[in-house]
Amino acid sequence: ASTTIPERPATDADRRFMAAAIRYAQRHVGRTATNPSVATLIVRDDGTGPRIVGRGVTAIGGRPHAETGALAEAGELARGATAYVTLEPCAHHGRTPPCAEALVTAGIARVVSAAADPDPRVDGRGHAILRAGGLSVTPRVMAAEAAAPISGYLTRHGAGRPEILLKMALSRDGRIGIRGGGQVKITGAVADAQTHLVRARHDTILIGAGTAQEDDPRLDCRLPGMADRSPNRIVLDPRLRTPPDLTIARTAAETPTLIATLASADPERRAALARQGVQFIACEADPETGRIALPELLEDLAATGVASVLVEGGAETGASFLDSDLVDRLILVQGPVEIGEEGVRAPIDVATARCRFRLVREYRFGDDHWYEFERRAA
């Protein structure tokens, strides 16, 4: 029987390396399928000060895990070193042995970890394997900061639904567009590039059937070199109105497009869309509104591993998420254009958002004001 090595308190150097690991974990946010994007740094000190000898981030698609890459890079230098992990190392056997075991086998002397892993297959077992292997473990170092790149994953495990970001562009007079008028340009190039970056960081982007039809959007990430970062798409379409020749239907073979619809949807329309590669999620109707029941849909999405959903329009879809209190984050971008009386009013304005949510960041991009809000703590 081994005795547990006492926990060593975190030092300033520990926090600096953990901060670097958390920044590195940002790299694959939105790209690791059902896995969280986490990072590992392996650091050793041979008397001349600490140096990083191995780095790893969860691979695109979710495997291999961060520890695998970091240990491979460190090789023999891992022996006696400290590993900084933004998430408790896993304890379960997947295609490879658990990361906690790999750290023990590689001869790591100490593990500093940030977030605890709520996955029931891990949930403390990762740390237990390390301690049983004779490693010193310092958990919960910068846990709050480490939660940021894995907030979707934590929401999926904690609330049983994906994290929801509602993003809307508002004209100066609080409109989001003109009904039946096609797309209206509200924001400038910098805000648009930021929007594409937000898209790249989400698993799924969701719009209503009305917006899909009126705007015929592409919903992809159009930043140079980041085309492969486009999220999957979901259209809320209870009565299955989506025409098969819409852009998102025509491109469903390249970027998965799902339509959330009711069982009563027209089978011919469904077959035509399915031929394009569109997939369907069978939904229930909200008994009061006849719209897609959002809590049940989100629960189904979480069960398939979706951790983050970006809701991008239109007014009714935004309103239904706001009314159901399902908005965790809100981005409002207000441009200088006036749309006028014929415009569609946004379901929330900046002043109301300031009361209902907590303003966490505010930027000015040219003539556009970019506001980021978060849910107020209960």
Catalytic residues: 67
Q: Which is nearer to ligand AOF, 50 or 305 (CB)?
A: 305
- In sequence order, what are the residues at sequence separation of 6 or more whose Cβ sits closer than 8 angstroms to the Cβ of residue 254? none
Candidates 14, 29, 67, 326: give the one binding ligand AOF (CB under 6 A).
Answer: 67
How far apart are the C-alpha atoms of 199 and 195, rounded to whole Å?
6
171 known member of a binding site: no
Q: What single-letter DSSP state applies at residue 35?
A: S
Which of these ranges, 86-94, 183-191, 206-214, 332-340, lies near ligand AOF under the rule CB under 6 A?
Answer: 86-94
Q: Are 115 and 122 in contact (CB under 8 A)?
A: no
Q: Which residues contact 271 (CB under 8 A, 6 or more apart)?
A: none
* Dist. CA 310–CA 198, nearest whole Å: 8
- Is 304 marked as a binding-site residue? no
Q: Which residue in the set 63, 239, 241, 345 belongs to the binding site for ligand AOF (CB under 6 A)? A: 63
DSSP of 282-308 = EEPBPTTT-SB-HHHHHHHHHHTT--E
196 assigned to a ligand binding site: no
Report, in Å, the least distance between residue 117 CB and ligand AOF. 5
* 311 touches Zn ion (CB under 5 A): no
Is 27 a binder of ligand AOF (CB under 6 A)? no
- The answer to whether 131 contacts ligand AOF (rule: CB under 6 A) is no
What is the maximum alpha-carbon separation in the chain? 77
Task: Please report how close the Cβ of residue 31 comes to ligand AOF at its closest, in angstroms.
Answer: 11
Contact pick of 65, 125, 175, 269 for Zn ion (by CB under 5 A): 65
Task: Decide if residue 58 touches ligand AOF (CB under 6 A).
Answer: yes
Q: How far apart are CA 87 and CA 67, in angstroms?
A: 10
Question: What amino acid is encoded at 264 in this protein?
Answer: S
Binding string, residues 75-104; x marks residues near Zn ion by CB under 5 A: ---------------x--------x-----
When asked if residue 196 is in the footprint of ligand AOF (CB under 6 A), the reply is: no
Helix, strand, or coil here: 48? coil
Binding to ligand AOF by residue 101, rule CB under 6 A? no
Please report how close the Cβ of residue 69 comes to ligand AOF at its closest, in angstroms: 9
| Token pair of 376 as six digits | 């107020």
Angle 226-228-233 from CA coordinates, rounded to 5°: 115
Question: Is residue 126 a known part of a binding site?
Answer: no
- Closest Cα to residue 176, out of 326, 32, 346, 370? 346
Q: Would you say 214 is a known binding-site residue?
A: no
- Contact segment (CB under 6 A) with ligand AOF among 62-70, 137-145, 180-188, 346-354 equals 62-70
Among 42, 66, 298, 327, binds ligand AOF (CB under 6 A): 66
Among residues 101, 119, 163, 215, the one that binds ligand AOF under rule CB under 6 A: 119
Q: Which does 119 bind (CB under 5 to 8 A by kind): Zn ion, ligand AOF, none?
A: ligand AOF
Rounded to 5 degrees, φ, ψ at 13 are: -65, -40
The binder of 35, among ligand AOF, Zn ion, none, by C-beta within 5 to 8 A per type, is: ligand AOF
Q: In this structure, are residues 87 and 67 in contact, taking their beta carbons and an 8 Å threshold?
A: no
The region of 14-22, 58-66, 346-354, 356-364 touching ligand AOF under the rule CB under 6 A is 58-66
- Should residue 174 be labelled a site residue for ligand AOF when binding is judged by CB under 6 A? no
Query: DSSP of 244-282, one letter per residue?
Result: TTSHHHHTTTTS-EEEEEETTS-HHHHHHHHHTT-EEEE
Q: Say how far apart CA 48 and CA 292 lie, in whole Å.
A: 61
Which of 21, 29, 78, 90 touches ligand AOF by CB under 6 A?
90
* Cis peptide bond upstream of 64, omega within 30: yes
Instruction: State the binding site for NADP(+).
Output: 169, 211, 215, 314-320
Binding residues: 65, 90, 99, 169, 199, 211, 215, 219, 222, 312, 314-320
Question: What residues line the site for ligand AOF (CB under 6 A)?
Answer: 35-36, 38, 58, 62-63, 65-67, 87, 89-90, 94, 99, 117, 119, 122
